[in-house]
Structure 1
Amino acid sequence: MKKTKLFIIGGLLSIGIVLMAADHLDAPAVGGTTADITDFYAFEGANSDNTVLVANVQGLLAPGSTAEFDENILVEINIDNDGDLVEDLIIQAIPRNGTMYFFGPYRPSVTGLNSTINEEAQYLGQVEISTGANAISSSANGISYFAGLREDPFFFDSSQFNAIIGGMAPNGFNNPGNDDFDGTNILSIVVEVPNALLGGTFSHPAGTGIQVFNTWVEAKRKQ
């Protein structure tokens, strides 16, 4: 089994001050839970034949926080291979007893708001959820996995943004600005997948001649 390098966003913070101004918590029904998606990243891996997919949830966690993934929340990464904005493949992640279990990529039996987990999917993986500074990763079938606390990589000067919106900063953003997310953590799910497992691509709609696929992430609560 060939192991691929897992690219982890940021490192877990051990000290710092929590700043309580952010747009990460703009959904009242899910705020403060692992159903609250803060960011989603997709980029080329250190191995150019791989794509790294990063889903971050539950932002603004204080250093030293013992936040845990909710076992009733499924995080689902969607892949659209033909540009119709309907998922053709999915990668699912759900925690159980300190371990994150992964299913896929595989073709779902249903699409849209509701999901089921195919426990017999061809590609299965698991990793111990990291709770400290050391990042624990695993690999299976050429896919690498990570789940746990990390430093929030998002950079935004929310204080200056609020001043601009309020008409108090006519010159716009400062250069350099202030990172109001510095000193906070998130819960992160990272999957590095060989491109060969992600299905086909389609021509970029803007006519750039570049082949692409669409990808997005959802958090779904057990009913």
Structure 2
Amino acid sequence: MEPPSEIAVCTFLQRLIPRRSGLRRAIALSTLAGCLSITALGLTSGLQPAPLQASDHDDGDIDVRSRALSLTDLYVFREIDQNTAARAGDLILVLNTNPRSLARQQYYFSSNAQYDIKIARVANVNNAPVPQPDLTLRFTFSPPNKGNRQVVTLTTIDSSGQTSSTNTTTSGGRILTTSITDAAPRLNTVRVRGANLTVFAGLREDPFFFDVEAYFRVRAAVAGFGPAASFRSPDTALDFTKGYNVNTIVVRVPQQLLAGGRAVNTFDLWGTINIRDPRTGQFTQVEQIARPGINELLTTGSQTIYETYNRTQPARFNSSDSTVIRNNITAVLKLVGNNDTRANALVRALLPDVMRIDTTVPSGYGNKFNALGSPAAGRRLLDDVVDASLNIVTNGAITTDNVSYNGTPGNPAQGHQPLATTFPYLAPPN
């Protein structure tokens, strides 16, 4: 089966739409249907998700959830594909939070939340997603000290429920976040289940890139609320994440630890945030992220769908609560011209929402698709997921939004700092 096409650009673009009430009121669900039918453009004018428990760059602050509880991106790649001098067999896991953090401002991880990276072992790259983790890496944070650092506790949880926690490095010190005023990143070596992990937590430059303003204009044009519009040329295109930071958790982990002593080369990963329910005292999942933007696509119908996604993906995807999600995405797929057979096949490819990585091939989003049509080679920091989506959805008619990580010479509205050449690889904070 060929990779997902019509659905892909809606997936990636919707994740980036800021929750601005005027736009939300203007764009109705009926417009979504019309927009999705215009597959040659690969554009969406969908109803915006209600501003609750969102998982993108620009969801803003709301009463029940701060930006520290907002996930932005998950990256998973072989370290040797980022650094040829790295040791073979190590994977890099990156979980980004706290979108649109301003330059030179100190931001913190929530001390009332659990930040989880969940890993499931996959027997065959062409198998359906594995929605139950075999291993969870859980990060919790103390309140900040006077040096603007937080103590990190790393807890591992296996499929049998056995846990092991530590807040101590192999040298005997505390696992600490890096303050924005630190001259160098604090790299914590941690012994976990017989293996050494390297942990970084703190502010770094947001590596994502996209001309979201041009997208707003094109979306408005498609919806009938503005003049004809298109993506701007490279010398005028604007990268909306330029100059912003994210709070990130970066982990170097030996593949053998994830494999659990088995001959496994493929893994499904996803990130979640859990917060304590004041009514029950129990922690509840309120955020989930894996492949870029799948969650935003699933919220085109109502706030209820969006909340159900964050609550159920992917571990409870077969529960009755998830029926509405499957029905919603199936309806959207039919709107873009898929018959029942193909729509159902794409649902199987996209859901449950996990990030799959086959470690036997070079890492990169779009480098490999499995038999279900799912990306199966993880995601590197410089992967242009927007361009990949535009290219797929339009059969090459539209190949780029004309924004890149490095930017276009002479265009001050583009360009990120060079990635670090060594762990944690993300560029220093602005």
When normalised by structure 1's length, the TM-score is 0.73
Residue of structure 1 in register with 2:270 after alignment: 216
Say whether 1:86 aligns with 2:132. yes
- The answer on whether the counterparts of 2:114 and 2:138 sit within 8 Å (CA) in structure 1 is yes
Larger RCO (alpha carbons 8 Å, 6+ apart): 1
CA displacement at 1:121 relative to structure 2: 5.0
Matching residue within 43, 56, 65 for 2:77: 43
More strand by share: 1
- The answer on whether the counterparts of 2:117 and 2:137 sit within 8 Å (CA) in structure 1 is yes
Moved over 4 A (4+): 20-23, 27-31, 121-126
Q: Secondary structure at the match of 2:217?
A: helix
Residue of structure 1 in register with 2:211 after alignment: 157
Matching residue within 114, 121, 129 for 2:177: 129
Instruction: Work out the number of aligned pairs and report it.
Output: 188
Q: How do residues 13-92 of structure 1 correspond to structure 2 at under 5 angstroms? A: 23-26=56-59, 32-45=66-79, 46-82=86-122, 83-92=129-138
When normalised by structure 2's length, the TM-score is 0.40
CA displacement at 1:122 relative to structure 2: 8.9
CA gap of 1:179–1:74, structure 2 versus 1, over 3 A, is: same
Tell me whether 211-220 or 79-88 shows the greater mean CA deviation: 79-88
Tell me, which stretches of 5 or more residues in structure 1 are unaligned? 1-19, 111-116, 203-210
Q: Secondary structure at the match of 1:198?
A: helix
CA-to-aligned-CA distance 1:116-165 (integer Å, 9 cap, x gap) = x93x3599756211112531111123210010111111111111111121
Larger radius of gyration: 2
* 1:61 aligned partner, one-letter code: S
Question: Matches of 1:184 and 1:169 in 2, distance apart?
Answer: 30
More helix by share: 2
- The answer on whether the counterparts of 2:71 and 2:97 sit within 8 Å (CA) in structure 1 is yes
Question: Matches of 1:166 and 1:64 in 2, distance apart?
Answer: 34
What is the root-mean-square deviation in Å for CA atoms of aligned residues?
A: 2.9
Question: Matches of 1:170 and 1:201 in 2, distance apart?
Answer: 51
Q: Secondary structure at the match of 1:186?
A: strand
Question: Matches of 2:88 and 2:67 in 1, distance apart?
Answer: 34
